[in-house]
Each structure stands twice: as structure tokens, then as C-alpha cells.
Chains A and B, each alone.
Chain A
């Protein structure tokens, strides 16, 4: 295997500007849209958190996890278990607890998987996710194949004071938006911290890192746990938003879609993960809505278009949208000056 190419860690000023504009647009969005699209964008933002959490492994550390959805789903289930039958649960302790549950699961699974490498890592993460999937699918006490309902959205009461109400779609939207920004800021800090530099070093050359005295297994395990916990944050939000959790949240497709999102946007800088999550969800939407042309219902064959798109993407723009953008800029600025 070729060593993964360096990622676009520092964002060009123009990309930073675009991100700021995107943030402003997101902040203004609920004012101009109806409930349906507000919910849709909320969901996209949740997926963005999920994708960013995976990017810490995939883009920064160079670990391809094909089972990341397990930790996403687990926190959703945690919310379902913590919510009583006939009243809401408190947000301020159920959220950290659910995130902790996902993190703990990731720690345990991580103990097994971080010692494996390359293809092994991919397959073992996938197999563990399947194990967790079946644990929930096969046990009626854990909801079984039908899943569980979250009958009430968590209540945000703090010492008798309730600052906001997640039952409102707009509030839920802004709550998620704040978390997206917070997670992004946090992960950017991690990226440039000594810990983040060590992770990047592991991606580029793990042998050398070990030779330099870094306990790479410990670093990888920490990253795996942290990524699992953040995926849990996204899963918790999904549970809040839809009020329903199901084993499919932990399924193979969910994991693969997260990988898609990270790749689509561009890896290793978390901005790409956000862009990718939005782009991926939007594309799925577009493909399924394709019109009927003559006797052929294009939308019915959305899987074909999705498949062709994925294959096309990986063949033509392996570094994702931001990478493509960067490459275009590069070739414009310095024609003939190859960096490869």
C-alpha cells in the first residue's frame, strides 16, 4: 500500500471564507425555510458531526473504520433507555452519559482493533460493529429488530431554569448548529495539539513514530475512543430528532456512508467532513428525486446513480471536493510546478 498522501490540513483563506459564509447561511436558514427543510438541514448537521468524528480516525490518523456506526447507534439507544416511559429525561446528564457509553464501547472494541493494521483494521472494526448490531437485533430486552421509541425529547432544565425547548424544530436546529461549531473547533484544536500531531505522524509513518518513542497503540486507542464518543454525540442527536432508534443505525451501510461523507468532502481537516456530509445527503436526495423519463423511472434506479457517482468520485477526485478545489487552485497558481 502506498503511504496515504498528505491531507489538506491547513485551509486556504478562500476556504475559510467560504466556511464562514456557510456558517452565516446556516444561521439564517430557519428564517427563510419551512419546517421540513429545517429538519432536513438539522439532520445534515448531525451527519456532519458524525462524519467529523470519523475523520479523526480516517483523515487524521489514517485508520479506516468500517464500523463507526456502532458508536453512533449506541448513544441513540442509550437515550432510548434513559428516557422514562412517560416523561422526558434531562438533557444535561443524559447527553454526557450517552456520549460516555459510546466512548466506553469504543474503548473496549478499540482495545482489540488498534493493534491490527491495514485491511485487518477495516475488517475487524466492521466485524465488531456487526457483533453490536446483532446484540441489539437479537435481544428483545434491547429493543430487538423493531427498535425502540424515544417518546419525549430531552428537557433542558438546569436548576429549575429551562433555557430552551428541543421540541421546537428551530431550537433543535440551533442546538445542533452550536454543537457542530463546537465539535469543529474542538477537533481543530486537537488537530494542532501535540496529540493531533502524533496522530498525523502515525498516519504518515507509524514505524518511525514508534522508533521515536511514541506509544502509538495508546495514541490510536485514545483517538478511537474519542472518535467513538463524538459519534455518540451525533447518535444521541439523531435519537432526539427522530424519536426512534433501530439496529440499522449501527448497520454496515451507515458506516460506509460516513466514510463516503468524509471522502467526498476531503479528509483530515474536518471542514471537508462537514462539506461531505451535506453534499452526500443532498446527493442521495437528488438521485431519489430524479424524474420519470419516458418509460424509465430514473429515481427508481437511484442505487445505480449513487454507485456510478461513488466509483466516479474515487477514480477522478480521490481527495474529495476540497481536495479537488485545492488542486484546481494549485494548478492555476503554479502551472507545471508539480508538488507530487
Chain B
């Protein structure tokens, strides 16, 4: 009935005032499309991102720039082969004004293609694949998370600062891992270190023993690893069980210990990682966010929730700048690019390529928390290799 009433008012105002467009726009809901994993390995991440996004909107009375929002969501299954059709459903059928997705890098790449082809605003709330804000960068493409390069490069710097001379890397044989490893090498070797060898394990194999043995026999000063989720738990446990934690320092990008500490238990204690967020970040902004999130969802937030929350903040900044008229795409996107986002991770701005220019924290795994013990690199910007907008 309410919608009918609304329609009636719309029609009346159209007739009476003759300035249809602005009025209708102010009444229509803003359409937000979540294309996130809701099943499979990344399901928990997808939910956290959605929760984070909705939390920000709820904190603002369920509205963005005084306009109601409507959510459309679908399970991307972390399957890139279905990504184009899934994204098309949100864009062409549901006519969303903004796309939020995804976790899996391959899916994010497909989304980028669809967003560019259809001129829809896209905010990537996790996938760190460099090309999104690199070779594929475009005015309508943004990221609220990180680039793979950022997390691993900063760890390379830290490793060298800690006096490590030689290192080896271990990751799955897939694009995301290879990007991380290359960035670690760059950061480490720029500061005088030397990466002896890159080891990898076939994806999604979690039998690490052979690779660990190989690494142990080469005796580097440090090992840099990139794994996430279940594989990260197993890797860290195997590492400790093989006694390597006593002889070779393990470093990683934050994913190695994020959301996994409870499962990793003792074996993760003391591991240093770099990330743009840490649960134990003790700032008023973060504390307020954590309290609010915990109260709403009866769950502790994680980095993924923050990325979802900030995706909402970024979009909100754009919507506000155009007074709620999301059809003014260019102005909306310019506003997002110009915005300073007051994130729980600390405030950040976006690079020209649309990736956050943010501090990377050095964190230490203590108990069930990644405690922030310092800043690894301040205001680190992704080099956006291949981006033509620079």
C-alpha cells in the first residue's frame, strides 16, 4: 500500500509541477547490487562484507543522502566462469546503480569488465588483484580494500628492516599468490635483501610438508607466505610443527593470520604480518565501529567487514555529492575519488586509479588478536602498473 501511495504522490507531483525527473529521483530507491560469495570457501567473507556495508547504511538511518536503498544480492560461488552472467543479471535486469563485489580475484576481474562495458560504478570490497586498479583502471572502478602489491611490498620492507638478508617465498600456484610474492621481492630487495627462491604448491593442495622441507634445507633468514582461510591455518600449523618457527622467521601478508588465529592456536603466536587493518587497532573510530558491529550482528568484525563498511562510505560520499541523484554518474565518481574516507582502519583517500592510499600496519599475532605494533609503511599507494588514467 505504501508503494502505491508513493506512486500516487509521484504522479500527482509530476502532473502538478512538471519537473518530473528530480522529484522521481528523490523518491526512487538507490539500487545496490552485492555480488559476493555466499557459499563455499569464501562464504564467511561475503557475509562480513555485506554486514559491514549494511551497518554503515543503518547507522545513517537506512538511507544514503536521504534516499532509501534497496539491496540485490547473488551468490557468485567464487566461480569466475559464471561471473559475467551473474554480473549481467545485477546490471541489466536489476539495474543496480552500484556493484559491490567480490572476494575472488577472477570474479573481480570479470566484474570489472562488465562494469566497464555497462558504465556501472563498481566498488571491489576485497579482491586484491592488481589489474583492477592497474591495467583495467577506469573512472567507474574503485576498491575499498587493498592491492596485493601493497600488503606484500610493505612486508618486504619490514623484513629487510628487521635485518633479514635472505628470504624464500611460499604460496599457491595462482595469480593472487604470484602477485604477492613479486611485491614482497620488490620491497625486500629494494632494501637490500635477497629472495633466494619462490616455492609454490599446486592450487588448492594443502599438503605443505614437502615444500617446508625444501625451504628448511636452504636455511633462509625468513620465509614469506601468502595463504588465506583454511590453507593459512594448515600452513601455519605445519610450519610450527616442523619446528621451523624456531629457526626461520615466518612473515606474511595479513591474511595469513586474519580470522584464523582461533583455529591456528599456539602455532601462530608471534607471527608478524602487514595489513591495512588490525583487530586491536586502538583508535576511537575503530572502537566505535567494533562496538556497533558487535552489537548489531553479535559477531566480532574483521578486516572484510571493514572493507564492506568502507565501500558503503565511499559510495555514500559520491551519492551525497550529487544530492542523491545517482544518474549523475561522472560527478558521483569524481566525488568518490576526491573523498577522504573516515575508515575504522584510519582515514584514507583514493589514488587516481581508485585504490586506497593507506597506512600498512605491522601486526603481531597475540592470543586471538592481530595486535598493531607499528606502521610498516605510511600512506602507501599502489603503483597502478599499466593504468592509463595516471
| Interfacial residues, chain A to chain B (CB-CB below 8 A) | 34-37, 39-40, 43, 134, 137-138, 140, 144-147, 149, 242-244, 246, 248-249, 251, 253-254, 288, 299-300, 302-303
Contacts and interface: CB of A to CB of B under 8 A. Distances in A.
B84 A146 contact: no
Contacts of B74: 288
Given A146-B105, A302-B75, A254 B175 contact: no
A39 B81 contact: no
Contact of A242 (B39, B84, B109): B84
Nearest to A43: B85
A149 B113 contact: yes
B62 interface: no
Given A147-B106, A147-B109, A243-B113, A288 B85 contact: no
Contacts of A137: 173-174, 203
Contacts, number: 77
Contacts of A243: 84, 113, 117
Contacts of B203: 137-138, 145
A147 B80 contact: yes
A39 B89 CA distance: 10
A234 B109 CA distance: 23
Given A34-B93, A35-B92, 18 more contacts: A37-B93, A40-B85, A43-B85, A134-B202, A137-B203, A145-B176, A146-B80, A146-B105, A146-B131, A243-B84, A244-B80, A248-B81, A249-B81, A300-B38, A300-B39, A300-B75, A302-B39, A302-B75
B181 to A, nearest CB: 13
Contacts of B176: 145
A154 B209 CA distance: 47
Contacts of A299: 75
B113 A39 contact: no
B158 interface: no
Interface in B314-344: none
A303 to B, nearest CB: 6
17 contacts: A36-B89, A39-B85, A40-B85, A134-B202, A137-B173, A137-B203, A138-B173, A145-B105, A145-B106, A146-B105, A147-B80, A243-B113, A246-B81, A248-B81, A251-B81, A300-B38, A300-B75
Interface residues of B, number: 30
B110 interface: yes
Contacts of B117: 243
Contacts of A43: 85
A82 to B, nearest CB: 19
Nearest to B107: A246
B68 interface: no
A260 to B, nearest CB: 15
A299 B34 CA distance: 14
B189 interface: no
